[in-house]
Amino acid sequence: MPRNIQVAVALSGGVDSVVAASLLQEQGYQVLGVHLLLADTSPPPEHLADLARSLNIPLKTLDLRQEFGDLVVRYFLEAYRRGRTPNPCVTCNAVIKFGVLWEKAQAWGAARLATGHYVRLRFLPHGEPALYRGADRDKDQSYFLCRLPREVLPHLLFPLGEFTKAEVRRRARELGLPLSPKCRESREICFIKDERYLHFIARQLGRLGPAGEVVDRQGRRLGRHRGLEGYTVGQRRGLGIPGPEPYYVLEIQPEANRLVVGTKRELLSTGLRASQVNWLTEPPTAALEVTAVIRYRHPGVVHFASPQAAVAPGQAVAFYQNERLLGGAWIEERID
């Protein structure tokens, strides 16, 4: 039993984090609940203190609004300014939850950090920690952890990795804890509340970019766009361009303030180029065949054995071998 080992649990107040904390208690850990204050739009839940008392664990509120604004929100805005499709959740996990939070937790004496992510952590026979997809494939969140610092893996705990969401909900009911009926599933863009993301971007940047040309792959002018921030690669709705078949966004060109559109066939790519590769294992020294997942809930492909749609610069690509997450990178461009 892990007696006298303190583990800091990121405690949002929702079902997943509460059940994670309870499971760690049952395993004998000394649990410290830590609620992250990340944005002014997300104040601590009113029932959070009651939850901590019911679990009989200490609770800290960690104000990371400055760090979150500098490292996540600014990245989000700059990505859209550059015509890219950002993934704030991947960034937040890497630099905030498993970065700044882990540093703070160690300063408080914690030897482990736990979250309610649906992902499995296992130790291989030679002692290397390895991340695997969650047992509940509908809730698997390993994609969002593809850019974690490798050195933090030995210190992590993911109590929900072997559970399904239905099992977690059932355990929450059995605990009889004061969960709020208003608690909803977490959203990827947690810092945008009660407004469309375009309104948020305009408010933060002062304005959206200027209107410009919409062209096809041959450069023929088809219409006008209302500002590049309003579009993502693969988008079909809202283009307002008539044609014999639907148009999709193929490419965003911020230097020319131009939107390139085409047919569904033209949306397909045979590959991609990525940068800033992050490995959660020893970096390979030879060619490696992997399953590439280019967005959350994407089924994954092996070396783009078949062309894939909507390869979006700015999104993360995660690398898998079977169920194991090997790492990830940022998509730079599609390869036709």
The question of whether 92 is a catalytic residue gets the answer yes
Instruction: Give the pair of three-digit tokens for residue 177.
Output: 């804890």
Q: Catalytic site residue 190?
A: yes
Could you give the CA distance from residue 101 to residue 97 in angstroms, rounded to a whole number? 5
Active-site position among 89, 92, 146, 183: 92
Positions marked catalytic: 92, 190
